[in-house]
Amino acid sequence: MGINLSRTVFQDLLAWAKRDGRKPLILRGARQVGKSTSVQILAEALGLELVTLNFERFPALSNLFLSNDPQAITQLISLQVGQSIQPGKSLLFLDEIQAAPQLLATLRYFYEELPKLHLICAGSLLEFALESPQFSMPVGRIEYMYLGPLTFEEFLTAIGEQPLHDFLKKYQLKEDYPEIIHEKFMRLLKTYLIVGGMPEAVKVYALNKDFMDVERIKNTIIATYQDDFSKYAKRGEENRLREVFEKIGRSIACKVQYSKLNPNVKSKLIADALNKLALARVIHLIHHSSCNGIPLGAEINEKIFKPLFLDAGLLSTQLQLSFLDLANVDELIFANSGAITEQFIGQHLLYDQPSYEKPKLYYWQREKKSSQAEIDYVISQQQMIIPIEVKSGKTGTLRSLHLFLQEKQSPLGVRFSTQAPSITEKNNQENYRILSLPLYMVGQVRRLIDSNLPSFRS
């Protein structure tokens, strides 16, 4: 049985492959999010012979790149692997290139002298090489593409629910919304919160629907991330990285307080551990923005942030929420003060941008004694600053959302909850609207905003 692990990013890969003036491409993302698989699928779709070099498994392969002559390099590779490399007929894939980062400097020569050759690089820990002050990239001669876990909609396709996927893609606000369809989506959302979006876990679930197998895969992935600590931790840091990694899941949706992660370790050392985990892309740091204008990143406070895990399914495993919790959807959703649902929305918003843009996401908070407030996430769309609140169930106040909309004079706020879609109308006291969407529609929020822009701004 074939499993359709179709990714939205695949269309971007196809566009890159067919573009004139194509530059060597670097895929960036955490280990096991599907970088290598995406490259294999691309080669098959285009009828290109895939030539793969893995520098983590075979470090000596870097000796093939001692020359800056792409013709000489490709000839040596052909002799080594026994495959002919021909521009227009081959796809050269340099995998785990962080193990030989000096090779990246040669990409400029491939761009200038062999522009017809399809060349893709990837590396799970590449960010550490790119951060090194001794290393410089061939600026202007490469392209980047960022890859995260499968989205909920990609998950639907993988498990054979293509009609539901298509329904979400075509849904327009104010259309009739059958309760029975909403309930089915909620059941599948509950499943996604456990399985998550890591390709191997999704594939196993799609094949046999066995949650025990899914848990085994997720635990293996987490162990792999922990095994990587020795590759980028300095002497004496590995245990601290492991401790922070194991505890960070309980800080999702909360402003980070170093003392809660370890009160006996200096804040600077905890901060360094968090930054390393972020470079490995197993977590993301969502910073506070003052939200007074666009771009939102122009007014961030580096000292105020909350963590986001890579994937909801991995977070469920870290928090010891497994298939045994699936008996009651409300019990699952309310567990851990909504951390799982905020993780779900956050990881989707983070990657709901063009794949060539570095994933970024912000939140907002005010800590005045008389008026504390926090907005879970803030995005910009069509020159609007849009606050987003995530509610774990059907109820819950929106005090912070109303306060933000009034204070920032924003025309639109978004609430994600377990309820069906709706829009509140403006009134004399509130010169804004609130778009309420079910949690599983997070992948459609930007499209729905765009298609209803005139009414939101009027």
Q: How confident is the model at residue 102 (pLDDT cuts 50, 70, 90)?
A: confident
Q: What's the pLDDT at 127? A: 87
Structural domain spans, the chain? 9-146, 153-457
Q: What's the pLDDT at 392? A: 72
Q: What's the pLDDT at 424? A: 87
Give the three-state DSSP class for 91: strand
Distance CA 170, CA 448 (A): 10
Rounded percentage of the chain residues whose pLDDT exceeds 70: 93
Cis preceding linkage at 295, omega within 30: yes
pLDDT tens-digit series, residues 10-58 = 999 999 999 988 999 999 999 999 999 999 999 999 999 999 999 999 9
Average pLDDT estimate for 358-366 = 94
Average pLDDT estimate for 390-418 = 87
Entry pTM = 0.93
Average pLDDT of the chain to the nearest whole number:
90
Q: What's the pLDDT at 372? A: 83
pLDDT(228) > 60: yes
Rounded percentage of the chain residues whose pLDDT exceeds 90: 72
Pick among 3.40.50.150, 3.30.70.1350, 3.40.50.300, 3.10.20.30: CATH of 9-146? 3.40.50.300
Q: What's the pLDDT at 339? A: 87
pLDDT tens-digit series, residues 315-326 = 999 988 765 654
More confident residue, 376 or 137: 376
Q: What's the pLDDT at 327? A: 45
* Closest CA relative to residue 120, chosen from 20, 57, 35: 35
Q: What's the pLDDT at 160? A: 95
Average pLDDT estimate for 201-208 = 96
pLDDT tens-digit series, residues 128-185 = 887 776 666 777 889 999 999 999 999 999 999 999 999 999 999 988 899 999 999 9
pLDDT(1) > 50: no
> Tokens 């293509």 identify what position?
162
pLDDT(82) > 90: yes
Distance CA 198, CA 218 (A): 8
- Beta strand 371-381 with 384-390 is antiparallel
The values of phi and psi at residue 311, to 5°, are -150, 140
Q: How confident is the model at residue 337 (pLDDT cuts 50, 70, 90)?
A: very low
CA neighbours within 13 Å on the CB side: how many for 401? 22
